[in-house]
Amino acid sequence: MLREGKAIIVAIDHVIEGYLNYNGEGYYDEFNKVDSLLRSFISGKATSIIAYRGIVKKYAEIISGKLSFIYRITEPINELLEFYIRDAVKLGADAIIYTVIFGHPQEKEMYRTLQALTLLGEEYSMPVIGEASFWPESGKDKFSILRQGIRVLGEAGVDIVKSQLPSEISKEIYGKMIDYAITPVVAAGGPKMDSLKRLFEFVSVFMESGGSGIAIGRNIWGQPNPSSILLAMNKIIYEKANINDILKEVQ
């Protein structure tokens, strides 16, 4: 998952996530040709994808040896958690990922599931990524809740945290969140941003704040040329390239 201690992860788990968790959303024209998308991720030097098991079964020949696979688990049956881990092992997953929505009424149940997955992950030598998400209806402060969530997931035993971030792009805010973590933190991208400049600034500032990479979906595969966006991300993340120079290359 990590290359030189950093990650460029592309999330393509939006169909099931959207359908189950966001009132039936989850249809994206970009997913009509998943094989082309996967090849663009490879040519763009992504390190990993987050996907459901069916994607990997279908496109194993394209993915194998070229992209690490992070097995997405959503709303699992707790009595069957070990079967999810065994399936991930069977499919050659490099890690599993599970989300805790902090501030949600069922937050404690999600945490207990995450904790069980970390224990099983250790038993099966399967790394676990914990995703910290925020429940807007909680009425709580997003920064404070996510900062706490990042720490909670680390103390629960995850290997990496993927986290939502406050909408304001701020080295100070991001730094306070990352400094409180005890594991590497990668940034979730969230909804598609209104410009490439904002996207590149977001990634650059996050990395300057001590981040360990990105786990982004719509802001990569939702672009006309995902491969070029990923190559730009490589330069920002690994070479600390100036975003204005990158913009000139991409546009």
- Output the 3-class SS for 52-99: CHHHHHHCHHHHCCCCEEEEECCCCCHHHHHHHHHHHHHCCCCEEEEE
Average pLDDT of the residues in 114-130: 97
- Confidence label for 22 from pLDDT (cuts 50, 70 and 90): low
Query: Is the model's pLDDT at 19 over the cut of 80?
Result: no
Average pLDDT over residues 139-156: 97
What are the residues whose beta carbons fall under 8 Å from the beta carbon of 122, sequence distance 6 or more?
A: 157
Best CA proximity match to 31, nearest among 16, 9, 43: 16
- Contact of 133 with 106, CB cutoff 8 Å: no
Q: What angle do CA 214, 17, 34 make, to 5 degrees?
A: 70
pLDDT at 169 over 70: yes
Whether 26 has a pLDDT exceeding 70, the answer reads no
Please give the average per-residue pLDDT across 158-164, as a whole number.
Answer: 98
Note the pLDDT of residue 7.
98
Count of residues in the chain: 251
Would you tell me which CATH number, out of the four given (3.40.50.460, 3.40.50.920, 3.40.50.300, 3.20.20.70), belongs to the domain 7-250?
3.20.20.70
pLDDT per residue as tens digits for the range 33-53: 999 999 999 999 999 999 999
The token duo for 205 is 């500032």
Q: What percent of the chain has pLDDT over 90?
A: 88
| 203-221 pLDDT tens trace | 999 999 999 999 999 999 9
Q: What is the pLDDT of residue 28?
A: 84
pLDDT at residue 130 in the model: 98
Domain boundaries in the chain? 7-250
Task: Kindly report the pTM of this predicted structure.
Answer: 0.95
Residues contacting residue 139 through CB under 8 Å, at least 6 positions apart: none
CA angle 99–101–102, rounded 5-degree value: 130
pLDDT of the residue at 251: 74
Q: For residue 25, what pLDDT band results from cuts at 50, 70 and 90?
A: low
* DSSP tag of 70: E
Q: Taking the mean position of all CA atoms in its chain, how far away is CA 102?
A: 16
